[in-house]
Amino acid sequence: MHIMEGFLPPAHALGWAAVSAPFLAWGLRSMRRGLQAHPERRMLLGVAAAFAFLLSALKLPSVTGSCSHPTGVGLGALLFGPAAMVPVGFVVLLFQALLLAHGGLTTLGANVFSMAIVGPFVSYGVFRAVAALGLSRSVAVFLAACLGDLATYVTTSAQLAFAFPDPVGGIGASFTKFAGIFALTQLPIAISEGLLTVLVVNAMARF
Partner 1 sequence: MVRIDAAAYACRWQGVAPSAKGLFALAGIVAAWISRSPGVLALLALMSALATLAGARVPLRTYFAVALAPLGFLSLSCLTMVLTPATGGGWQWTPSLLPKVSVIALRSLAVMTAVLGLMLTTPMPDLLLLLRRLRAPELLLDMMALSYRMLFVLRQAWDEGSTAQAARLGHRGWRQSWRSMGLLAGQMAVQVWQRASALQAAADARAWQGSLRFLPASFPNARREVALALLAGAMLLALALGDWLWA
Partner 2 sequence: MNMLIELDAVAHTFADGSPGLSGCSLALAGGRRHALLGANGAGKTTLLQHLNGLLRPSEGLLRWQGQAYDYGRAGLSELRRRVGMVFQNPDRQLFSALVEEDVSFGPLNLGLDEATVRARVASALDAVGLGGFGRRPVHHLSFGQKKRVCIAGVLAMEPEVLLLDEPMAGLDAPMQAELETLLDRLAGRGVTIVLSTHDIDFAWRWADEIHMMAAGRCIASTSAVQLPAQLDALRTAGQQPPLALALHAELVARGVLPFGAAPRSVDAVLAALRAQPVTELSGEIQL
In the window 24-53, what residues touch partner 2 (CB under 8 A)?
A: 43, 46
The only residue of 18, 21, 129, 199 in contact with partner 1, by rule CB under 8 A: 199
CB 97 within 8 A of CB 143: no
Question: What is the closest distance, in whole angstroms, from the C-beta atom of residue 51 to partner 1 in the complex?
Answer: 5
Give the binding range for partner 1 (CB under 8 A) out of 41-49, 110-118, 119-127, 138-146: 41-49
Full DSSP string of 125-175: HHHHHHHHTT--HHHHHHHHHHHHHHHHHHHHHHHHHHHS-BTTTHHHHHH
Residue 67 interacts with partner 1 (CB under 8 A): yes or no: no
Segment 116 to 175, residues that bind partner 1, using CB under 8 A: 160, 164, 166-169, 173
Span of 4-12, 126-134, 180-188, 199-207 interacting with partner 2 by CB under 8 A: 199-207
Does 88 contact partner 1 by CB under 8 A? yes
Kindly state the smallest distance separating residue 18's Cβ from partner 1, in Å. Answer: 16
Q: Cβ contacts of residue 2 below 8 Å, gap of 6+?
A: 93, 96, 102, 103, 104, 107, 111, 115, 156
Q: Up-side HSE of residue 40: CA atoms within 13 Å toward CB?
A: 0
Q: For binding to partner 2 (CB under 8 A), which residues are involved?
A: 43, 46, 203, 206-207
